[in-house]
Chains A and B, each alone.
Chain A
Amino acid sequence: DGGITQSPKYLFRKEGQNVTLSCEQNLNHDAMYWYRQDPGQGLRLIYYSQIVNDFQKGDIAEGYSVSREKKESFPLTVTSAQKNPTAFYLCASSIPRTGGTTKEKLFFGSGTQLSVL
């Protein structure tokens, strides 16, 4: 089945530790995104990538890093510089629409809940 797979579903981070969240898609989508969800807030964009080997910072990129070496994969590393990493992290990908009034259609993964020990 085609889709977006995020792993792990739950992740615990120790103080000062870097952790990496996986996002893999077999939809052949060019664009991929990482969002963060905090209680009481809406989604916030961390990083996005429109094409392989290229990515841009979103609204809250500090303390995070990404890579896009393969079209299917867009891993997110939460570094020790991120002082408040506890959140729900959502990966998405998109495909350009052929026709219609919006340029792309978003698809979402099932998310990773990251907590600090």
Chain B
Amino acid sequence: AQSVSQHNHHVILSEAASLELGCNYSYGGTVNLFWYVQYPGQHLQLLLKYFSGDPLVKGIKGFEAEFIKSKFSFNLRKPSVQWSDTAEYFCAVRAGYGGATNKLIFGTGTLLAVQP
């Protein structure tokens, strides 16, 4: 069965530290990859997405993610975090295209706390 794994459940960093959140998926075919963020008191919003092309994608607020097909990974990175990045981050995978294979699968989330 298809699945998404986020191995870091809770990450605590100081401001200006670098961030890398891991995301691995299990599916051998074509995938679309997403990172969503939920800030305190807010609903989910899209951080970035990968569909095709350059495997290094840039999102909002200085975030980026790299799709490494051979490793089935889509790790999220930011060179220097800010206190305002405190949130929960979800990795998601959409396997296949259209019709019956349009399913979106979420990881369990990584809670990031940035200390000032």
Contact = CB atoms under 8 A, between A and B. Distances in A.
Contacts of A45: 43-44
Interface stretch (A13-21, A65-73, A76-84, A96-104): A96-104
B88 A88 contact: no
Contact of A103 (B41, B100, B104): B41
A105 B9 CA distance: 12
A23 interface: no
B68 interface: no
Contacts of B38: 102, 106
If over half of A's interface residues share one DSSP class (helix, strand or loop), that class is named, otherwise mixed; here it is: strand
Nearest to B46: A42
A74 interface: no
Interface residues of A, number: 26
A103 B88 CA distance: 10
B104 A90 contact: yes
Interface stretch (B22-30, B74-82, B105-113): B105-113
B36 A43 contact: yes
A102 B88 contact: yes
B102 A39 contact: yes
B18 interface: no
Nearest to B88: A102
B27 to A, nearest CB: 15
B53 interface: no
B30 to A, nearest CB: 12
A9 to B, nearest CB: 8
A39 B100 contact: no
A106 B88 contact: yes
Given A43-B36, A45-B44, A102 B103 contact: no
16 contacts: A10-B100, A39-B97, A39-B102, A42-B36, A43-B44, A87-B102, A88-B103, A101-B40, A101-B111, A102-B40, A102-B87, A105-B88, A106-B109, A110-B103, A113-B102, A113-B103
The 7 A-B pairs at the shortest CB distance, nearest first, are namely A42-B46, A88-B102, A108-B106, A101-B113, A102-B40, A101-B86, A37-B104
